[in-house]
Amino acid sequence: MKKTTILLLAAAYALSSCSHTEGKETTAPQPLISDSLMKMISIDTVRQSPIGSQLKLSGEIGYDENRVVKVFPNSSGQVLQVNVSFGDYVHKGQTLAVIKSADVAGNYSDLTNAEADVRIAKRQYENAKSLYEGGISSQREYEEAKENYDKSVAAAGKINAMIRINGGGHTSPGGQYTITAPADGYLVEKKIATGAFIRSDMADNLFTISDLKNVWVWANVYESDIARVRQGYHAAVTTLAYPGRVFDGQVDQVNDLIDPQNKSLRVRITLRNDSLMLKPEMFANVVISNQDTRTALAVPASAIVTDNGRNFVVVYKNDNDVKVKPVSILKTEGGTTYLTDGVAAGELVIAQNQLLIYNSIAGK
């Protein structure tokens, strides 16, 4: 410590240095903490607390697959126009693309023929019915005409159903059909462009829509840490994009299978994303926390003074009663240090700028 700091301490505290022996408390004869010095320190209480455990993981933000809709083509054809771009917000029913399809055009041609057959069969049925009721034709002729009419109506209905399926319910006799958004959300994937051809054997989707109000964070847990993660544990997520911003969530799924490539287990955290700050494909740091069933004495980690390989705290009773006590550390987690002995629950320790007081009392 610099000479000027020691002189300042001597003036501020008016303390007399005294030596201490290993393992024993050392008390300043008449320590004094002034009002101005009191404003520079912070005091915390030793408490009996459940032992916290934290596990730091790396992860990646992805879509909430329960809120993702993939849009597939209804039939083959050529893309005439695409009305949206990647990242656009679309509304249910909005036109995404227009396709020119030979399949749809063929269905309409078949429908024209089928409707002509219906008209002919209907006239024949009505004539047979009139003749049958007038006693001129037989019942068999009447029933055959009725059966032919029913078959023609069914055939036309089948073709209409094919048009609805092949065109998604948005078709025109020229063979065009439109692809519309099945739900509100952001266009998070777009795989077609104007002029592209869609083959009948194409199994890939054209668009993906997600509302992004919820996102999933997938984190990898290595085999040695699997026992430290359970469903329901608290998770604190941070990203490079928003330093200092913590997104709180819970582990809501722990996979049962280990990835054979990297020997890790995937855990999932669901986060609300109303502000849309979290974007899929972002990298994330995840801290999984849980409470052990055991308890221990706990103090702020900042209250610990390490000197020559030993650990101490500065215990405060009043402005004229300040002591240094040796302590044994069990572990430190998330800004809290757990102790096995040295202090008692309810005692007060100085957790900020205590090193100045420690040096003065210990004669440093």
Residue 96's nearest CA partner among 110, 80, 108 is 80
* Residue 333 pLDDT > 90: no
Given a cut of 70, whether residue 16 has pLDDT beyond it is no
Higher pLDDT, 342 or 333: 342
One-letter amino acid of 111: L
Q: Is 232 buried (19+), middle (13-18) or exposed (0-12) by CB count in 10 A?
A: exposed
Residue 291 binned pLDDT confidence (cut-offs 50, 70, 90): low
73-204: CATH superfamily:
Helix hairpin bin (1.10.287.470)
CATH code for the domain defined by 3-54+293-362:
2.40.420.20
- Other Cβ atoms less than 10 A from the Cβ of 254: the count is 16
Q: Could you tell me if 9 and 356 are in contact, meaning their C-beta atoms sit under 8 angstroms apart?
A: yes
pLDDT at 203 over 70: yes
pLDDT value at 60 more than 90: yes
Q: What is the mean pLDDT of residues 189-211?
A: 89
Predicted confidence (pLDDT) per residue in 278-288, tens digit: 998 999 999 99
Is 332 in contact with 301 (CB distance < 8 Å)?
yes
Would the pTM count as exceeding 0.75? no
Predicted local confidence at residue 224, as pLDDT: 82
pLDDT one-digit tens code per residue, 254-265: 988 888 888 889
Query: Residue 148 in contact with residue 121, Cβ under 8 Å?
Result: yes
Q: What are the residue ranges spanned by the domains of the chain?
A: 3-54+293-362, 56-66+212-291, 73-204
Percent of the chain with pLDDT strictly greater than 90: 46
- The CATH number that domain 56-66+212-291 falls under is 2.40.30.170
Pairwise CA distance, residues 18 & 314, whole Å = 15
Residue 11 is predicted with a pLDDT of 39
The tokens describing 336, both together, are 């809290």
| C-alpha R_g of the chain | 39
pLDDT at 267: 94
Q: Is the pLDDT of residue 155 over 60?
A: yes
**Residue appearing with tokens 């855990």:** 267
CB-side exposure of 220: number of CA atoms within 13 Å?
12
Q: Is the pLDDT of residue 7 over 80?
A: no
**Regarding predicted confidence, which is higher, 112 or 53?**
112
* pLDDT for position 216: 95
Compute the average pLDDT of residues 164-183.
84
Report whether pLDDT(21) > 60.
no
- Common-topology check for domains 3-54+293-362 and 73-204: no
- d(CA 158, CA 91) in angstroms, rounded, equals 31
